[in-house]
């Protein structure tokens, strides 16, 4: 990985013409670089969407700048209990005021692979924790492994896999505890999901497998870079159900070819 440019500065963007223009320009550049089948990776925000985020009292829009140039942006939402929150289909067991929603991380193609997305995850996590939020949540398109592999590397866990209720897209839901008390996984019954040599080609099979793992109560918890695998552990609930009802929880290491 290349080193991060030393002169990158982090800024919370404000509601003004210059910041709005920078956000739209970076988003336009990224959308222009997407292939047709990648357009759904991000919400295509309008000027009103960005204005609303910048004006909102519970959203933070962050930017990383190389000099005057915005090279990465992200949004953090800290909804109140009376707000309508993003991703209502996920993490419904928590109150809004316990949650932080990570949205819209974009990195200029010329600056990718230098850890900028991870910096954006880190800053949002810090701000969310400072506001007393317990859990960070996010949703990522299943066919955007660059993003979900990176989120897992950063400590987020896949706890739900399914279809976005708004557009039926295949999506992966991830969450992370912000109190540092990640549950200690049991190596017993761990399942290693290989991504294969061409992860993009394998996404349909991987998605089906991940849905099955998730439905069986497994949690995609760690990334084994050397072996190109996601390690899934049974959730406490799955372990309890398994003991009681002897449901099938996959135990063996299996390659994508066998899925």
Record the tokens describing residue 151, joined without a space.
Answer: 């989120």
Phi-psi group of 253: left, alpha or beta (phi > 0 → left; psi -120 to 50 → alpha; rest → beta): beta
For position 137 contacting ligand COA by CB under 6 A, the verdict is no
Residue closer to ligand COA by CB (options 174, 213) is: 174
Record the tokens describing residue 209, joined without a space.
Answer: 């497998």
Closest distance between ligand COA and the C-beta of residue 42, in Å? 5
d(CA 159, CA 220): 7
* The only residue of 19, 41, 159, 230 in contact with ligand COA, by rule CB under 6 A: 41
Record the tokens describing residue 147, joined without a space.
Answer: 């993003």
Closest distance between ligand COA and the C-beta of residue 87, in Å? 12
Question: With b meaning 16 or more CB within 10 Å and e meaning fewer, what string describes 75-103?
Answer: bbbbbeeeeebbbeebbeeeebbebbbbb
* The only residue of 13, 23, 26, 30 in contact with ligand COA, by rule CB under 6 A: 30
| Number of neighbours of residue 123 by Cβ within 10 angstroms | 17
* The only residue of 146, 211, 239, 259 in contact with ligand COA, by rule CB under 6 A: 146
Q: What is the CA radius of gyration of the chain?
A: 19
Closest distance between ligand COA and the C-beta of residue 35, in Å? 11
For position 117 contacting ligand COA by CB under 6 A, the verdict is yes
Q: Which stretch binds ligand COA (CB under 6 A): 60-68, 116-124, 167-175, 244-252?
A: 116-124
Q: Which stretch binds ligand COA (CB under 6 A): 15-23, 105-113, 183-191, 246-254?
A: 105-113
For position 118 contacting ligand COA by CB under 6 A, the verdict is yes
């Amino acid at each position: 990985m290349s080193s991060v440019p030393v002169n990158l500065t982090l800024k919370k963007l404000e509601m003004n013409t210059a910041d709005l223009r920078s956000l739209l320009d970076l988003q336009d550049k990224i959308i222009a670089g997407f292939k047709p089948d990648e357009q759904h990776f991000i919400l295509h925000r309008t000027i009103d969407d960005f204005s609303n985020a910048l004006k909102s009292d519970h959203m933070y829009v962050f930017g990383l700048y190389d000099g005057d140039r915005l090279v990465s942006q992200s949004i953090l939402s800290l909804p109140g209990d009376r707000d309508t929150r993003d991703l209502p289909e996920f993490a419904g067991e928590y109150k809004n005021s316990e949650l932080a929603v990570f949205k819209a991380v974009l990195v200029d193609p010329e600056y990718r692979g230098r850890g900028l997305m991870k910096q954006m995850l880190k800053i949002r996590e810090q701000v969310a924790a400072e506001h007393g939020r317990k859990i960070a949540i996010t949703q990522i398109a299943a066919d955007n492994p660059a993003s979900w592999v990176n989120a897992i590397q950063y400590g987020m866990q896949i706890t739900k896999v399914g279809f976005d209720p708004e557009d039926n897209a295949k999506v992966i839901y991830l969450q992370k505890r912000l109190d540092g008390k990640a549950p200690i996984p049991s190596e017993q019954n761990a399942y290693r999901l290989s991504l294969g040599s061409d992860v993009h080609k394998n996404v349909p099979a991987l998605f089906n497998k991940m849905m099955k793992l998730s439905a069986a109560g497994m949690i995609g918890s760690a990334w084994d870079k050397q072996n190109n695998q996601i390690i899934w552990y049974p959730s406490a609930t799955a372990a309890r159900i398994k003991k009681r009802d002897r449901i099938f929880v996959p135990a063996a290491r299996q390659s994508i070819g066998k899925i």
